[in-house]
Chains A and B, each alone.
Chain A
Amino acid sequence: MMKLTIGSEAIFFLCLIVAYLYFWKSGNFQKEVAEHLSIKTTGVFTAILLFSSFSFWRAEKNHARENSKATKLWLIITILLGAIFLSGQGHEYYKLIQENVLISKTEFGSSFYTLTGFHGLHVLIGLIILLVVLTLTMQGYLLNKNSSVLKTVGLYWHFVDVVWIFVFTTIYILPYIL
């Protein structure tokens, strides 16, 4: 079920990326990215998000070994890392708004906020799901190593990461390659 959901969402993000690229030339994105975006700062937050995938994987592994304490710890780390990523994104938005890059101003604004915004929304949804899983784990549920909940949630969380790799490459890295 999760694979099918992810498949559908993947196509959704593909459409958003296509829309972003569609305006590349006419919206002068190369210049806009060079002027307003910092590959270094966002790169750090990217690393943080990628690390959260690693931490979730640790949670899954510990869950398979029925080590509930370690599972909870790694879950907490994952949530914290995800939250830091979102706050980084929020800070970036704040900065951009100060520089007058708005969704209503330019093609770049429209496409950038939409693409990163929908991704951020999916991260937020993921965080909520992770919080629910953490709470249930703390209350003693989901500890049976045959439960497929963690694996399913893991698929979603890793998906969110993979999407970010594509989004990051498209927005931040592409201008330097082309």
Chain B
Amino acid sequence: MKAILLDNIEHDLPVVHTDKKILYWLSTVDHKAIGKLYMLAALLFFIIGGIEALLMRTQLAVANNHFLPPDAYNQIFTMHGVTMIFFVMMPALLGLTVYLVPLMIGANEMAFPRLNAFSFWMTFFGGLLLYFSFAAGGAPNAGWFNYAPLNQNNYSNSPGINYYAMGLLLGGIGSVTTAINIIVTILKLRVKGMTLKRLPLFVWMALVNGFLIIAAMPSLNAALSMLLLDRLMEAHFFNTDAGGSALLWQHLFWMFGHPEVYILILPAFGIYSEVFQVFSQKKIFGYVFVAASTVAIGLLSFGVWVHHMFAAGLGNTVDSFFAASSMLIGVPTGVKIFNWIGTMYGGKIRLTTSMMFAVAFLIEFTIGGLSGIGFSIVPIDWQLTDSYFVVAHLHYVFVGGSLFSVFAALFYWFPKITGRQLNERSGKWFFWLFVIGFNLTFFLQHFLGLMGMPRRVYTYQDIPYYTLLNLLSSAGAYLMAAAAIVLMYNIYKTMKGEVMENKDPWNAFTLEWYADSPPGEKNFVDIPVVSSRRPFYDLKNPHNRDYD
């Protein structure tokens, strides 16, 4: 396929000409606007998902509580999981990706701008459709991974699960088309001189991530299609009362589900790589290793899915094989922690809010990663899977890993996207409130798991220490909510302020910082020569250039 050359840029960009703001936002194909739309949608669903979390933690604050009836709780925990993964983290990370990637590679647009807009709206409508279920008879209530045969008509007769399937199918289409768009953009639209070995690490991660999305989503789409056929046309894929298979659902779902968690963490790794470099004023330690290990993770991630099914009785041989592969994948994932520490070593560290989240990530992700490796040890998994130990693990990696990267990205790139810097003092309040709340909530849950508390329960009996630990855990949730309010206020106040003069407040290295803050409709009129991994740094330091 031929590359799309934007040499004569004046009339090649698909630009919308209107002064009606709503019309602009609905019809824009500008990758920057679409990136912002993604992030705003993620914010909306984050608030909803967060409220769902607060409702759950309130119900669980004391033993035998009656704040929420069981059916409501079951819908809420399901929706919390689905929302956070598919309609908060995916859009937030993909939104950042479509915003930043063209800027980082010196392009003025994504390869397929209209497809980009289409992807966003599909994702957004998927989320709306999912939430419509509340008004249509009940939200899905069988958990975010929706096991069979509980997901069949005869065990879950509200239409919620149909909306789950349809909402995720739409969202899935949005993700796959975005991934295709990103890959083609990175492969075909790089400015001259930017070889693949000189890509910013965020772009490397985006590239590998694109392939992961394309290869993993089909498995989910197949499972969801079969589920809809089961529920709407009485097919027999997962209906065990009629010869269907409960395990087939699990295999198909986790074939998607495991790569999905890497899909959520790779962009985070990319963000942290950028943040660590700029706020240590040093290049990344071990660029080749970080890039290569990412490719390794991408490939290996398709060979570990059964570790979600160790307790399903597949047999010792199968379990042992996947134990080995799961332990193996921990190595390239975890070693990057040392690469980032190595980046800070010998640097000039500025502890801005963004950097603080990156540093916190190092600890939180190590905890989450180690508990994950614990689960790859099958007998430990046999004890602790489906308990609160898993809930602790997944939140340490999702929140401490992925969500913290969104916060780090927010504080780092806010000046680029809006031309204004978020208030650092407020940022630090946000950081401490959130991090303390987060660790309070989830660290204690490791103990609850060790003490036999299963997950997905709407209450618990008065067992020694359960109430104490749960109450403290709930208190942490309220701290996080308070932190979120501090952040919203910071954003609000900042947006009311003036656009600043300095387009490069952090003294950064990569091409996106060469464009204006915020960039004009056309990202680049002219562009620095790219002869290393840090082209903007080279421009500013001609006597001390990189030679990568």
Contact = CB atoms under 8 A, between A and B. Distances in A.
A8 B252 contact: no
Interface in A1-25: 1-2, 4-5, 7-9, 11-12, 14-16, 19, 22-23
B218 A19 contact: no
Contact of A110 (B1, B2, B215, B229): B229
Interface band, chain B? 20 to 34
B218 A148 contact: no
Contacts of B218: 8-9, 11-12, 14-15
Interface band, chain A? 20 to 34
Interface stretch (B120-128, B220-228, B312-320, B445-453): B220-228
B248 interface: yes
B245 interface: yes
Interface string A79-119: 00000000000000000000000011011011101100010
Contact of B234 (A4, A19, A103): A103
A26 B1 CA distance: 46
B183 A4 contact: yes
B226 A11 contact: no
Nearest to A147: B2
A110 B221 contact: no
B112 interface: yes
B224 to A, nearest CB: 11
Given A11-B218, A19-B248, A152 B226 contact: no
Contacts of A12: 218-219, 221-222
Contacts of B329: none
Given A19-B248, A107-B244, A152-B1, A8 B237 contact: no
B252 A107 contact: no
Nearest to A26: B243
A23 B242 CA distance: 12
A114 B235 contact: yes
A175 interface: no
Nearest to B221: A12
Nearest to B243: A107
Interface string B131-153: 00000000000000000000000
Contacts of A5: 180
A104 B184 contact: no
A27 interface: yes
Nearest to A7: B214
A77 B97 CA distance: 43
14 contacts: A1-B112, A1-B180, A4-B184, A8-B217, A15-B223, A15-B255, A16-B222, A19-B222, A26-B243, A103-B234, A109-B235, A110-B236, A111-B237, A148-B1
3 tightest Cβ-Cβ pairs between the two chains A and B: A104-B234, A15-B222, A12-B218
Interface of B: 1-2, 111-112, 176, 179-180, 183-184, 214-215, 217-219, 221-223, 225-226, 229-230, 233-237, 243-245, 248, 252, 255
Interface of A: 1-2, 4-5, 7-9, 11-12, 14-16, 19, 22-23, 26-27, 103-104, 106-107, 109-111, 113-114, 118, 148, 152
Given A4-B214, A19-B222, A27-B243, 18 more contacts: A1-B112, A1-B184, A4-B184, A7-B214, A8-B176, A8-B180, A12-B219, A12-B222, A15-B222, A26-B245, A104-B234, A106-B236, A107-B236, A110-B226, A110-B236, A114-B226, A118-B225, A148-B1
